[in-house]
Chains A and B, each alone.
Chain A
Amino acid sequence: MARLASPDTETAAKTPATRRRGELSNLQFALVVTVPVLVFLVLVIAYPLGYALNLSFHDIRFFGGYSATWVGLENYADVLSDERFWNGFLLTVRFTVETVLLTLGIGMALALVVRDLPPRWRWLRALIILPWAVSPYGAGIFFAYLGRGQTGVGTALANALGFDTSINFITQDLVVEFLALGAAWNMAPLVAFFLLANMLTTPPRLYDLAKLDRMSRFETFLYVTLPPLRFTLFVFTCIITVLSIKTFDYIFTATQGGPGSASSVLTYVLYRTSFQNLDLGYGAAMSFYLLALILISTGIIFFTWGRREARR
């Protein structure tokens, strides 16, 4: 047998070069699918940003006659000397750091638990994902009822065990930690699943190696399980940081920023300023500090950690 070709098929297989005209180039194809979406997105980014930017240079008043007075950078300067802003800022940072650590830690723990499930028990994995499907405001309601001394599980258990006391987590000292725990409850399953997907790609031989090296469980985790997960952890650190700083509905339904202003994170301060006080110019200026906080935090994470991971 020499060749498969037969004369009649040869011409057909040799398609003439005419198709080239009908085929889109990379750029054209990219333009066709991206431009409409990008225009949409740019509008929905640019419009509110531009609007808010304009507001932020004005003092907006609705009462005693509407007025918008140009005040330049005054709003921005005022924010920096606003005690409520700094209080909210510190609470946001505290909430975010705690949420990130708890979410990653708990996500990791969940992943380790479901990884080791024997095949017949694998269906349990499906249950662990469920809290992720709960909305932030739903999670807020759950944790409000769970944490309050009046309705909470602490009080119920304490009394069931015979202690006549009320255990309350919604206190000035604990509320942020408690909220972070709730946020972690909400988001950790997703982290767990992506970590699990990565863990399953680690060659089992490495674990045998670790055993031969007589590594302790902890060392095995540290030197075998953890390294391939680092990029995933980095990505989720970024995601959870952004989501935590942005979070509003969760805190709105859980504590309304309370008790007092103990959980009035920046988004809540912003909500009060813009919605309750209708101080729109000032609120807009504050929202740019909030945006800056988000960008700077993710920037810091990227430059101190992400670039190292990306190079790897």
Chain B
Amino acid sequence: MTKTRGGFSRGFTRRSFMATGSAALLGSTALGSGLFSGGLAYAQDFDLMATSGEPVYFRGWQFRTDVVQSNVDAYNERMNGNVDYATVTGDYPSLMETTLIANGDLDVLYANPSSAVRYMGGGWVMPAAELPNGQEIADSMYDNIREAWSVNGQLLGLSYFVSVRGTLLANLQRLDEAGFGDNPLPTTWDQLYETIYALHEAGVETPFLPHWFAEWFGISWGFLFEVMNRGGQVADAETHQPMMTVDGPAGATLEAWKRLWNSGLVPEEVLSYNEAAYIDAFRSGRYVFSPQQIYDIKTFNDPAQSADVAGHISLLPGTEQSWGLIDSAMYLMTSRDRPDALTDDVMRFTSWYGYKDENGDFAVANRWLEENMLFSAYRPVMESDAAREAIQSSVARPEDYDTVLEVYARTPYPKGVWNVVWSEEFNVWLREKLFSFLQDDLPVAEVIEEANAEITRLNERYGI
């Protein structure tokens, strides 16, 4: 079976980079190995037993590594696998990118879609579409998510989780204390800001913890989802041309931010938080509202983890508008130089881990849902009774179950700025610009103009 993995150009790319600095030191890496992908003897049934005996390097960021490890152990034991799992800590996307450029020991990795698109652009990724059961996998995903995860119609990776980052959580207890318990929860960003100022009037010192923290998925993503929640787009989903306007949702977002910042309701330190500090801040019960991961509803309502707020964390309804954006991650396969037999093993493991195990169960995805309320891209997973139980056990009020599904269903995805090779560069730029917008009190119009210009510049640079 022939496949177009572009192995040749990839190998060439890496070697050219290294030769840039050190022609003399360059060893001769086997050029041929990447030319033709491992021709899996593709039969009706995809045999998941590992055969090569060589290690498959699986790397992820640090999240419930105990669960991941036990899943990997199960695969290794049952499927004769030799998967080497470890976490990569620190600046994950950059470290992964460095490893990929260098053709390092890496076969399967976690990636956010924006990173995945970039890696694809670098030619370092073997898309999921190349799996023998690639079509079947794509078919069992929700359409909007499959689309978000595809480049040129090719599905990049398998479902790790799908979540809503920026789900507006509310601390019901604090609302009650402030005398707002009987008011309906806000349903739009504008209503939310009004409530925040009203709370402040009522003596609540820190009513809102905005999504302004310092991670790569912090303030810039906060901007993206607020613009989309307000009905706007940062860039066109197909052409990637900039779409922000001063009197549109982007302008409204920045105006709201400027007012919030200048009102002094938000401690400046938020701008230097990492996610740990961001979650801890909300967990402390100091704040009333905050955009958070939808799966953290479970964390916050768990007395063992969040005694001060457990049982009081609800979410704003998705009746009027969407909240947040789709924050998801995939299992990606790399296209590094490796023996064909090993490539086959990589595919087997990825399919087992990211899709169905040898019994045809979505074992890993189901477990994530139960343990951490991590949603999946696979329809059968989400539509199971187990999913219903998992969600219901995690929310503060029974009616929140419907709200969760409602919010989940409406959540947008910023394809215009994420499914493009410059996504990370724009993200870093946007992050700095937004910090500067707040701290240096830049005019709204100027920031929007510069952001549009930056997108245009990046499009030109990459010939888009």
Asked if B16 is at the interface of the complex by the 8 Å CB criterion, the answer is yes
Asked if B277 is at the interface of the complex by the 8 Å CB criterion, the answer is yes
Residue of B13, B14, B98 touching A275 (CB-CB under 8 A): B98
Interface segment out of the listed A104-112, A197-205, A253-261: A253-261
Q: Do residues B94 and A150 form an inter-chain contact, with CB atoms below 8 A?
A: no
Give the distance in Å from the alpha carbon of A262 to the alpha carbon of B21 in the complex.
34
What chain B residues lie within 8 Å of A257 (beta carbons)? 214
Q: Do residues A151 and B439 form an inter-chain contact, with CB atoms below 8 A?
A: no
B408-443, CB < 8 A from A: 421-422, 424-425, 428, 432, 435-436, 438-439
Give the distance in Å from the alpha carbon of A262 to the alpha carbon of B272 in the complex.
9
Residue of A51, A63, A255, A275 touching B421 (CB-CB under 8 A): A63
Give the distance in Å from the alpha carbon of A144 to the alpha carbon of B17 in the complex.
38
Give the distance in Å from the alpha carbon of A62 to the alpha carbon of B124 in the complex.
10
Query: In the complex, which range does the number of interface residues on chain B fall in?
Result: 35 or more
How far, in Å, is A305 (CB) from chain B's closest CB? Answer: 35
- B464 nearest CB neighbor, chain A only: A64
Q: Do residues A60 and B17 form an inter-chain contact, with CB atoms below 8 A?
A: yes
Q: Do residues A55 and B269 form an inter-chain contact, with CB atoms below 8 A?
A: no
How far, in Å, is A178 (CB) from chain B's closest CB? Answer: 11
Determine the main DSSP class of A at the interface with B. Answer: loop
How far, in Å, is B46 (CB) from chain A's closest CB? Answer: 32
A275-B94 CB under 8 A given contacts A148-B277, A256-B214:
yes
Asked if A84 is at the interface of the complex by the 8 Å CB criterion, the answer is yes
Give the distance in Å from the alpha carbon of A144 to the alpha carbon of B284 in the complex.
17
- A165 nearest CB neighbor, chain B only: B205
Q: Do residues A170 and B122 form an inter-chain contact, with CB atoms below 8 A?
A: no
Asked if B97 is at the interface of the complex by the 8 Å CB criterion, the answer is yes
Q: Do residues A51 and B269 form an inter-chain contact, with CB atoms below 8 A?
A: no
Residue of A65, A144, A149 touching B13 (CB-CB under 8 A): A65
Asked if A166 is at the interface of the complex by the 8 Å CB criterion, the answer is yes
Give the distance in Å from the alpha carbon of A84 to the alpha carbon of B12 in the complex.
34
Asked if A121 is at the interface of the complex by the 8 Å CB criterion, the answer is no
- In this complex, which of B101, B269, B277, B422 has the most chain A Cβ atoms within 10 angstroms of its Cβ? B269
Q: Do residues A63 and B121 form an inter-chain contact, with CB atoms below 8 A?
A: yes
A68-B91 CB under 8 A given contacts A150-B280, A259-B269, A261-B436:
no
A242-275, CB < 8 A from B: 255-264, 272, 275
How far, in Å, is B21 (CB) from chain A's closest CB? Answer: 4
Q: Do residues B267 and A272 form an inter-chain contact, with CB atoms below 8 A?
A: no
What chain B residues lie within 8 Å of A51 (beta carbons)? 21-22
B239-283, CB < 8 A from A: 267-274, 277, 280-281
Asked if A172 is at the interface of the complex by the 8 Å CB criterion, the answer is yes
Task: Give 9 pairs: A residue, B residue, CB < 8 Å, sorted on A.
Answer: A63-B462, A66-B13, A84-B432, A149-B269, A166-B267, A255-B214, A259-B270, A275-B94, A277-B425
**Chain B interface residues toward A at CB < 8 A:** 9, 12-14, 16-17, 20-22, 91, 93-94, 97-98, 101, 118, 121-123, 205-206, 214-216, 267-274, 277, 280-281, 284, 286, 421-422, 424-425, 428, 432, 435-436, 438-439, 462-463
